[in-house]
Amino acid sequence: MIKKLLGIAPTLNKDGSFNPSPLALKLATSSKTDYKEIAFQKSYQGSQSRIMMICTEEKNLTMVNGKNFSTGNHPVEMLVPMLHLQNAGFHIDVFTPTGKSAKIEGWAMPTEDKNVMSLYAQYEEQYNNPKSLSEFVNQQMNGNSEYTAIFIPGGHGAMNGLPENQDLKKLVHWSFQKDLHMLAICHGPAALLSANLNQDGEFLYSGYSMAVFPDSMDKQTPMIGYMPGQLTYQFGRKLSELGVNIVNKKADKTCHQDRKLITGASPQAANDFGILSATALLQSKNLL
């Protein structure tokens, strides 16, 4: 009752899951983003123009206490980078593990941001009816030459199902061997843990540096009701144990590029992450 009066009690949904508390929403979300359009001198017009965006199809993430957090992919971390990538001439295909609808944190949607909401409307059909990662890996992957990058947006949903997905493991290894760019923001890098499933050999990104959402912040967020409990694991710690160097300590605008891997620290980094990603892809095509 006291938590509810203070506005720090997570909000219960009809399905028994919890949204962030009113205070958490006030502190952690905004009705507009800091998106600023960049006029690239040249946009890409070649045959490798497609980007595969891997989204979670899981809505509820179970906490240590058994309560479910209503999550998915964070709309800002997903849509703002997409705007920059699209402006640079690239086309995004939405994928989920089995082709079920992509889950999005609706409570974080920047509803007053015209650019973001327009792009969301453009892709809504793809979110509802995405392509199947399983089908792609088993039927199309080895012969494919259309894709130039993999994009894994954040939101706690990236920790739910993706790190344990064998098809994603195959995709990550395939993209690494083909020297494609890997783009992952906030909790998105958690999905890269899939590359180490079965622990067969050294982690692909051992020795790499990444910007990720800090474990220390995830441990604190239940205090203001952002989540209804503690996470069952800290993905930053797991990455560190596999030889990854985490470059940031705060959930800020930090972005980082290490070879073909581009990462960002939080929703605050979405605009800069999108610009860095689009610029790196254009540079790889000798357009900058």
Give the residue numbers marked as catalytic.
Answer: 186
Burial-class residue 48 by CB neighbours within 10 Å (0-12, 13-18, 19+).
middle
Is residue 66 classed as helix, strand or coil in its secondary structure? coil
Number of residues in the chain = 288
State the Cα–Cα distance between residues 278 and 288, nearest whole angstrom: 11
The partner residues of 12 in beta bridges, in order of sequence, read 18
Rounded to the nearest 10 degrees, the angle between the axes of helix 270-284 and helix 75-87 is 30
Please calculate the CA angle 253-255-261 and round it to the nearest 5 degrees. Answer: 155
Instruction: Report the phi/psi class of residue 182: left, alpha or beta, with left for phi > 0 and alpha for psi in -120 to 50.
Output: beta
Termini Cα distance of the chain? 57
